[in-house]
Amino acid sequence: MFNLNRSVLRQALDLSPVATIIVDTRKPVAEVVYANQAFEAMSGFDVAELVGHRWDRLLVDGQSNEFDCERVMNILCHHRLGVSDHISLNMLPLFDQPGVPRFWMGVERPTLETAAIAADNDRDALLAVLRDARVHLRRLDGRDSATGILNRRAFDDILERDWVLAERDQRPITLMLFKVDSFDEYRQIFGRHAADACLQKIAHSITGSLRRASDLLARFADDQFSVLVTQSDEAKLQEFSASIAAKIRGLSIHHPRSTVDRFITVSFGIATAVPGGADTIDTLIEKATSAIAPRLNHDTSAGVI
């Protein structure tokens, strides 16, 4: 018998056609720490919405949220997809050491309908339809289909609005771009689903690092994320961007073909401008893009313009 490393097991969960969610019950209030793509498709929720979400707020009203034994729990679905009102999950304990389980895994409980679909080999087709609907709805409401954060179109609209306000107040505006190093190679090795899961983790890491309610994160390009902030202090911007890059490297997402590191890393570029005069939105983007310097190792950083 051979040992499966964590990366392989994570990919198996991500790609499983069975809706699966994991809850951390050792925290003061139980919260979601993982959901796979099948759960996204069946529930209508995004991973970005679910991770860190309180467990009791997902349950159908009137249910106990106690984790005292294996049992069935019903989860509310997001109404934007028009799927059934809830998903029934078999809750199973996961032990990181002997004793009381720290995590509980919810696995979709087959119903007569889902059993019939599986028997007719139509389950994959149903999931594909739901995923396509989810992608379409995300595009309509300005969100990226892979990560659930703002997409480029929505980001451009907000940047134009903020640019006008900053020009009126004569205050600086800063754009930070984070580029995933050797991302095409990662996708070629592990496939689209694993690449999307990687982007979700990066988006979640950046979101958790933002300090102000006005800070804005978006999927800027296939392998790039943009952050819009009002901070203009060069030293603080460098420190902030470097801390985000270190946090992403700390995710330890294995990348055997990276030209930078054995794990997924990001390079970053920063540009600050005061709207008006020679500066435009296009020049701000050009400066941030040109400031993305190829990284020789995970301790080096890019420049600020």
Interval 16-57: pLDDT, tens: 888 899 999 888 888 998 888 888 877 777 777 788 888 888
Give residue-wise pLDDT tens across range 119-167. Answer: 555 555 655 665 555 555 455 567 888 888 889 988 998 899 889 888 8
Higher pLDDT, 232 or 135: 232
Hey, is 240 helix, strand or coil? helix
* 174-212: b (≥16 Cβ within 10 Å) or e: bbbbbbbbbbeebbeebeeebbbbbbbbbbbbbbebeee
| Cross-strand bridge partners of residue 107 | 20, 90
Q: Where exactly are the structural domains of the chain?
A: 6-140, 152-290
pLDDT tens column, 180-201:
999 999 999 999 889 999 999 9
Q: Which residues contact 13 (CB under 8 A, 6 or more apart)?
A: 20, 34, 36
Task: Specify the CATH architecture of the domain 152-290.
Answer: 2-Layer Sandwich (3.30)
- The rounded distance, in Å, linking the Cα atoms of 18 and 72 is 16
Runs of H (alpha helix) within 44-108: 47-50
- 6-140 placed in CATH 3.30.450.20: yes
Inter-residue long-range contacts of 58-65, CB under 8 Å, 24+ positions, other chains counted: 58/32, 60/86, 65/30
Q: Rounded to two decimals, what is the model's pTM?
A: 0.57
| Three-class SS state of 6 | helix
Question: Measured between alpha carbons, how far apart are the two ends of the chain, in Å?
Answer: 55
Above 80 in pLDDT, residue 174?
yes
C-alpha torsion 40→223→242→167, nearest 10 = -100
